[in-house]
Structure 1
Amino acid sequence: MDPSTESRIPELGDVNLALLVSLVAGEHCIFSTVVESVKNLQEEIRVSCERTFGIQPAVIECTSKTTVDEFNESLLVEVDDEFEDASERRDGTKLPTFEFDLSPPADRTPGRFESIGNTLDDRRIADIVIATGLDTAEESVQVQAFELLRSRRIFTRASMHLAPKDLLFVVILSRPTARLSRHLNDMFCMSHVHMDEDGLPYTDGVIQKHDAPTLQLKDLSYLRELAANVSLTAEMAQYLHNVVIFMRNSRYVKGGVTAAATRNFRVLSMALAPLHGLTYVPPSLVALAARKVYLHRLVLATSQNEKSLLWGSDPEAIEELLDGVTVEDVIEDVLGSVETPL
């Protein structure tokens, strides 16, 4: 790895590192934190996109009253030719950010969109979309988000818009226990839980603008190239496969070990290697990837559907066994059960 790039990675905070992993892997990410810190986390991610990565974000604040039209409109930003080379925007000038508060307006007229019906809409989908509270939005809005990530395009009343090649969709949950709809949730490769004690360097003022560690587009491209060429030996591929099988067969797990999760598991394991200065995938990175990939996916069994009930287990004993078990506990139990290659 380029020494200058490698030296900047340890300077990044947990939020920046999660964004970097997502950008290198080319996959989407879910963030969560305590309710009181959601707004601060949103601001930290927004500033990180601008100052650390020089990428233009669109910030969306969803509510239960957000409509599909409002969601679509909020994804779009004006085309800025000067922003095409984001690495050149390091002169201290303010990067354009687009924020949308999707709370219902005081009054809404039926002809709201009629004025753009016959005009050419040359806006584009933002390179990074930060959606706060998407879990509170109606199912139709979450379906639209799913279609964007699946087909990489949206249709507005005026035009069709294609998503950027390296689109990154970041969701900040409204509360730590919230979940997206099942199919949308499976579109996100990894999740990251931000703890208050980890701090928010930009929001807290710990890092000043001129001191911010920066990673240019060429650095991200270089890291992606390294990740694509990481060596995954047959033994490590078997270890990764065993983790998936043990996860699926765990008595604590009801669901969530999907085909998409398995693909993301492999991709993330390889994407983590260059960030640690490695050209191969060791067992420790597979374990780290498992903690990130399955944290938001696993659906835990209950005393009504635990597997051993089919063979006559006592429901009361099962309820006592499952009491207090968390997703983190299950992941650690599985990782401890799988034999690690030497």
Structure 2
Amino acid sequence: MDELLQARLQNVSDLDLAILVSLTSDQHCIFYSVSDAAKDLRDELHLSCTETFGLQTAVIDCSRTTVDEFSEAILVANDDSFKDAPEHRGSTHNLRLPTNPYPSRGHSPARSGSANITLDDRRIADVIIATNLDLAGPNVQVQALELLRTKRIFTRTAMHTASKDFLFVVVASKPDARLTHHLNDMFGISHFHEAEDGFPHVEGTMDKYATPAFSRDEIKSLHSQADEARLTAEVDAYLHNIVVFMRQSRYVKGGITATATRHLRAVAKALAPLHGLDYVPPSLVTLAVKKVYPHRVILTTAETERTLLWGSDPAAVKEMLRGVTVEDVIEEVIGSVDTPL
């Protein structure tokens, strides 16, 4: 990595860095904060994507949206010149939903004649920031799942596609919010933002009209370097052992999926070029574990703890589990696995 890029990495906020890791690893991300800071977190991420990375962004509140409204809100004009036009780098999709996005049956283009038919060539925004997706109905979450799986979406008039580096960001409604199981498993990274860490874009401590700190070419270069980062047999075994220990932990009921293991490997390799390395040391594996698993791990309860099957005292099990958090479990697992020299 060149020294200039390394210097810029030292000056970005934690949210900018989380977005950069997501883009480099090609993984979608969930952001958490205290409930009172959710709006500022959404606005900060919005400004980060547009001002720091120059990406066209759509923002949608999913708490009361329908499938049709969701599909319409994530679309932007198919402006081919956006990527190469600096004056458009701050452009964002209008956050307000149209009051009547679909024409009435009496005035549909098909009934008005071919002269009024226009091609709907809109595309999915580079970045979608979905707030309160955990509060959305199951149909909306299924639509989001299909979008992440296929990178395309169908409206009533056309099929719309996303770019190869498409990023889906969720701002959860509260720190312990959960998406549906399969949708949650599509997100490779999670990040908790402390309100006291501030929101530099929202608070105006960053130059609003500055050139984006990271160009698309730089992000592509980081992505290529991440793909080429070396993972030795010893470090690969270390990564595998952490996954095994996580699955076997008596505190864990579930969430340690095969998809999570793939995400762990991708994030660990993505962290290498961001630290100026062309290989993955054990320390980056442990850092990746702390980003990949917090939103996935499902803690066991006093009723489902596995040693009850062999006669453990329920009262003792309940006392053992009291106060145990996901972060505690992750730290306990990392400490249990021998680190390669």
C-alpha displacement at 1:123, in angstroms?
0.5
- CA distance in 2: counterparts of 1:277 and 1:333, whole angstroms: 29
Matched residues, percent identical? 55
Closer/same/farther in 2, CA of residues 108 and 223 from structure 1, 3 Å limit: closer
Closer/same/farther in 2, CA of residues 158 and 175 from structure 1, 3 Å limit: same
Partner of 1:270: 269
Aligned length: 335
1:98 aligns to 2:87 (yes or no): no
- CA distance in 1: counterparts of 2:106 and 2:36, whole angstroms: 36
1:46 aligns to 2:41 (yes or no): no
Partner of 1:9: 9
- CA distance in 2: counterparts of 1:2 and 1:311, whole angstroms: 57
- CA distance in 2: counterparts of 1:328 and 1:229, whole angstroms: 30
- Whether the 8 Å contact between 1:62 and 1:101 is mirrored in structure 2 is no
C-alpha displacement at 1:111, in angstroms?
3.2
- CA distance in 2: counterparts of 1:279 and 1:232, whole angstroms: 9
SS in 2 for 1:295: coil
Partner of 1:327: 326
C-alpha displacement at 1:120, in angstroms?
2.2
SS in 2 for 1:237: helix
Partner of 1:168: 167
User: What is the correspondence of 1:15-34 to structure 2 with a 5 Å cutoff?
Assistant: 15-34=15-34
- CA distance in 1: counterparts of 2:243 and 2:101, whole angstroms: 50
User: What is the correspondence of 1:146-225 to structure 2 with a 5 Å cutoff?
Assistant: 146-210=145-209, 214-225=213-224
User: What is the correspondence of 1:102-141 to structure 2 with a 5 Å cutoff?
Assistant: 111=104, 115=108, 119-141=118-140
- Whether the 8 Å contact between 2:120 and 2:158 is mirrored in structure 1 is yes
C-alpha displacement at 1:221, in angstroms?
1.1
RMSD: 2.1
C-alpha displacement at 1:101, in angstroms?
4.9
- CA distance in 2: counterparts of 1:265 and 1:108, whole angstroms: 40
Partner of 2:236: 237
Q: Identify unmatched segments of 5+ residues in structure 2.
A: 111-116
SS in 2 for 1:190: strand
Closer/same/farther in 2, CA of residues 108 and 95 from structure 1, 3 Å limit: closer
CA deviation digits over 1:176-226, x for unaligned, max 9?
111111100000001000001211111111112255761111110111111
Q: Give TM-score, length-normalised by structure 1.
A: 0.93
- CA distance in 1: counterparts of 2:21 and 2:203, whole angstroms: 23
CA deviation digits over 1:1-31, x for unaligned, max 9?
1222222111110000000000000110000
Partner of 2:114: none
Q: Give TM-score, length-normalised by structure 2.
A: 0.93
- CA distance in 1: counterparts of 2:56 and 2:211, whole angstroms: 17
- CA distance in 2: counterparts of 1:278 and 1:153, whole angstroms: 35
C-alpha displacement at 1:47, in angstroms?
0.7
Q: Which moved more, 1:112-121 or 1:281-290?
A: 112-121
Q: Identify unmatched segments of 5+ residues in structure 1.
A: none
C-alpha displacement at 1:312, in angstroms?
0.8
